[in-house]
A and B are shown apart, each in its own frame.
Chain A
Amino acid sequence: MTSEEAVAKATPLSRRTARWLDSRLGAAGFARKALDKVFPDHWSFLLGELALWSFVILIATGVYLTFFFDASVEEIIYNGSYVPLQGVEMSRAYASALDISFDVRAGMVMRQVHHWAANVYLATTVVHLMRIFFTGAFRRPRELNWLIGVGMLIFSIVNGFVGYSLLDDQLSGTGLRIAHNIALSIPVGGTWLASLFFGGDFPGPDLIERLYVIHILLLPAVIIALLGLHLALVARQRHTQFSGPGRTERNVVGERVWPTFAAKGTAAFFLTAAVLCALGGLAQINPIWLYGPFRPAEVSAASQPDWYMGWLDGALRLWPGWEIRLFGFELPTPFYPSVLLPGITFGLLALWPFLEARITKDRDEHHLLDRPRDRPLRTAFGVSTLAFYTVLFFGGASDVLAVTFQTSVNALFQAFRIALLVLPPLAGFVTYRLCQELARRDRPGASTEAPRVAPAASDDGADNRRQIEPEDEPELDPASTAGVPRG
């Protein structure tokens, strides 16, 4: 036995594996850096992570579903175990979705978890985006990652819609028909676009198969690629942090990836998965068996899209029936709310970092986050935008609301249209004043910027655990504020 072998015997398997890998990859240096990376900690930094974990669950459950789903529009007679639909003619796609729900053991849970995960994924993504916006995390040098994020959001919304459109039930068929008409409404190229995408007039014979490829291959590949880039850029540029004692533009204060941050992340994954599974098991979602198979001439009343499409539905409802007709050509009504509005929405969203830099003339690197109150204009603009889309969202439920509150849809429409014009500026104004008030209350104590300058030099970080807010803590330990000028 050579001494080398003896050493090998004595070292545990994990080490030997690591050695084996390293002698082929030379990755120890890189891996160590990765383990030692420092991540700032704040509850709001968890939002993006929750979106990531929901996405992982989406992939896992989605792969399972592909084993049973049959994306074919061939008409068959259903004879599965859901009694009310036995003997009904339907597409294979819809029948296989019913089979997943009733005849594949654990299929129902997987399907419902998948659908819940999609809703939660998009919800956490949007809230994550709001966090980035309101804290100014999109500023230089992170404009690229903002663009990647906006791209992911758009692709994810589309993939969500495509996903629930696959099942060929009455509700999703109606949604596809609306999508077809929206494509048609695009000037000049719209009819071509609709024909190429749908493979002819609605509903083209290949439509479901095409949507399937888009849903499980094309868009997931794009989203995963963007997600990889998104995370790589976070690693490269390091995470932002809120200002506080010891935190500057030139450092990162937080905990190391290994083991604390990694453990918290793992816990977040399992907890997210647990919540999604509980929802998937207990909270019914998209009960397609109640909608019936798609029949082009039928429609289910009070059909609602998934929440992230709600604003579009609302816009389609509230936009008045204006059409421009010139020389026999026309710009149909749906164009404005369902093509122009999303175009402006995502265009503005994508360009925001550049617009803001132009307005504020602030083109410096920023690694310290803003508190929303310290940027009253941006915050007010953000809140008023949110108000706008919230009104649209509720506008999308106008028929349900009319029934619930026993009012006429007519009156409700007018109310929503007025709210759409009045609420956003109002919300913006109130927010602006609120920010000013909060900022004013901050002023009498030490300036919020100040503490992060002083202690960095004197302390070793032991008391830097939490951001110390002067207004919360009037009797600050004199040691940590020594030398700070009092306002």
Chain B
Amino acid sequence: MSAYASRGGGRDGDGRDGDGKDGDGKDGGGGGEADRERAGRVDDRAERLVVAGFVTSIIGAVALAVVYIVGGQPQWEGITLALALGGIGLAIAVWARYFMDAEEVVEDRHALASTEEEVAAFTASFEGGQQTLARRGLLTKLGLGALGALGLAALFPIRSLGPRPGKGLKETAFAAAGGGSGKPLRLVDAEGRPIRPSDLSRSSLVTAWPEGHEHDADAPTLLLQVDIEEFRPLPGREDWVVGEIVAYSKLCTHTGCPVGLYQTELDLLLCPCHQSTFDVLHGAEPVFGPAARPLPQLPLGLDEEGFLIATGDFSAPVGGGFWDRGRT
């Protein structure tokens, strides 16, 4: 290192003078003695910085090991790692700045494009080979055909990655309750307990699932107790409520986030993802934000034991839209 320092020290004088605008004039001129002394002082300071950097690094590394051995602690691990790495970084940076050649070198840029002769030679070689292939033209074509066929055949395994998108997007487990064949399906909470209308209150929001499907990602349903005087059901859905209780899909029709915020005083449901807002009193129509469609509604009923049931599937496919959502 000292060899570097002394070698660099000599050059260093003009190196840094170059930074000052008056550089070269001074170097050639008289102020040599004072300049050299100043340069020497700067050199000393720089060398001390380099030493400090490396020493800091060693201390940091040792401290890191100690921190680790005594049980580890994220903050101290970060600090000691930073010291160990930063010490080396600082030392090398100072070293490069003060004791290494800062001389500017000029190099020619060679043309990137090849010369005409090179191109001609390449063309000749390539076309020579091409002719060899062309002589057996049919074989070449057949070979390419075989490769193409293989490529196409290789695409088929991709099909195994997932099932044909079908009913799954358009139906939920509640579909079992619909139609003439299905028997009504109970609504249950996350633990699978059936829900009575009396379990709800005006300010609360209960998330329910079809019984036996408490983990279905597409079936979470919001049960809300609304002010039935104000409630304006959509045409044809007059009997979809039980008492004051109405049920909507919990999945936002924008990009499917769970709509989790219920502003009771305003009777609005708010999606935390992009702030779409839905009118609880009127078919959960979107009143604000990027969602374009209402939250699908679930037809509710009561079974003999007084538990809430679904009498069919949601009024529309749940969650965000897709190409053929409206087709059956």
Q: Which residues of A contact B (CB under 8 A)?
A: 37-38, 105-106, 108-109, 112-113, 141, 174, 177-178, 180-182, 184-188, 190-192, 194-204, 236-238, 246, 249-256, 259-260, 263-264, 266-275, 277-282, 296-303, 313, 316-323, 325, 328-334, 337-338, 365, 367, 398-399, 409-410, 413, 461-466, 468, 473, 477
Contacts and interface: CB of A to CB of B under 8 A. Distances in A.
A282 B92 contact: no
Nearest to A319: B290
B218 A328 contact: no
Contacts of B93: 264, 267-268, 271
A278 B324 contact: no
A270 B272 contact: no
A298 B168 contact: no
A366 to B, nearest CB: 11
Nearest to A322: B292
Contacts of A113: 78
B192 to A, nearest CB: 14
Interface stretch (B140-148, B227-235, B251-259, B301-309): B251-259
Given A185-B320, A299-B272, A191 B102 contact: no
A316 B165 contact: no
A112 B77 CA distance: 12
Contacts of A106: 68, 72, 77
B213 to A, nearest CB: 11
Given A184-B169, A196-B161, A201-B169, A251 B107 contact: yes
B89 interface: yes
A186 B25 CA distance: 69
A316 B274 contact: yes
A38 B168 contact: no
A341 B57 CA distance: 47
B164 A464 contact: no
Contact of A198 (B162, B215, B255): B162
Contacts of B74: 108-109, 112, 281
Contact of B19 (A199, A333, A409, A466): A466
A399 to B, nearest CB: 6
Nearest to A273: B85
Contacts of A251: 106-109
B106 A252 contact: yes
B95 interface: yes
Contacts of A334: 254-255, 290, 320-321
Interface string B66-82: 00100110111111011
A191 B18 contact: no
Contacts of B286: 321
Instruction: Sort A-B residue pairs by CB-CB distance and give the 5 closest, nearest first.
Output: A281-B78, A332-B321, A270-B89, A274-B86, A181-B320
A477 B25 contact: yes
B96 interface: yes
B101 A296 contact: no
A237 B112 CA distance: 7
Contact of A281 (B81, B101, B102): B81
Contacts of B19: 465-466
Contacts of B274: 313, 316-317
Contacts of B102: 255, 260, 465
A191 B322 contact: yes
Contact of A250 (B89, B108, B207): B108
Interface of B: 14, 18-19, 21, 23-25, 68, 71-72, 74-79, 81-86, 88-90, 92-93, 95-96, 100-109, 112, 158-159, 161-165, 168-169, 190, 207, 209, 215-218, 220, 250, 254-258, 260-261, 272-276, 286, 288-293, 319-327
Given A184-B321, A201-B169, A410 B89 contact: no
Nearest to B101: A260
Contact of A254 (B104, B220, B273): B104
20 contacts: A105-B68, A106-B72, A112-B78, A174-B258, A181-B319, A181-B320, A201-B218, A202-B218, A246-B106, A255-B101, A255-B104, A264-B92, A268-B93, A274-B84, A275-B82, A278-B78, A297-B220, A300-B272, A367-B109, A399-B272
Nearest to A476: B21
Contact of A330 (B218, B254, B261, B323): B323
Contacts of A320: 290
A410 B289 CA distance: 8
Tell me which of A187, A300, A329, A337 has the highest count of chain B C-beta atoms within 10 A of its own C-beta: A329
A203 B216 CA distance: 9
Nearest to A272: B89
Given A174-B257, A463-B18, A238 B82 contact: no
A6 to B, nearest CB: 27
A187 B325 CA distance: 11
A267 B76 CA distance: 23
B289 A282 contact: no
A313 to B, nearest CB: 8
A256 B319 CA distance: 60
A151 B82 CA distance: 32
A321 B68 contact: no
Contact of A196 (B108, B158, B254, B293): B158
Nearest to B207: A297
A464 B104 CA distance: 7
A296 B320 contact: no
A182 B254 CA distance: 9
Tell me which of B19, B21, B159, B276 has the highest count of chain A C-beta atoms within 10 A of its own C-beta: B21
Contacts of A202: 217-218, 256
A280 B273 CA distance: 28
B320 A254 contact: no
Contacts of A237: 112
A332 B161 contact: no
Contact of A465 (B25, B104, B168): B104
A105 B71 CA distance: 7
A201 B168 contact: yes
Contacts of A191: 165, 169, 322-324
Tell me which of A181, A196, A252 has the highest count of chain B C-beta atoms within 10 A of its own C-beta: A181
Given A301-B261, A463-B24, A329 B81 contact: no
Contacts of B18: 462-463, 465-466
A255 to B, nearest CB: 7
Contact of A253 (B79, B92, B106, B255): B106
A332 B169 contact: no
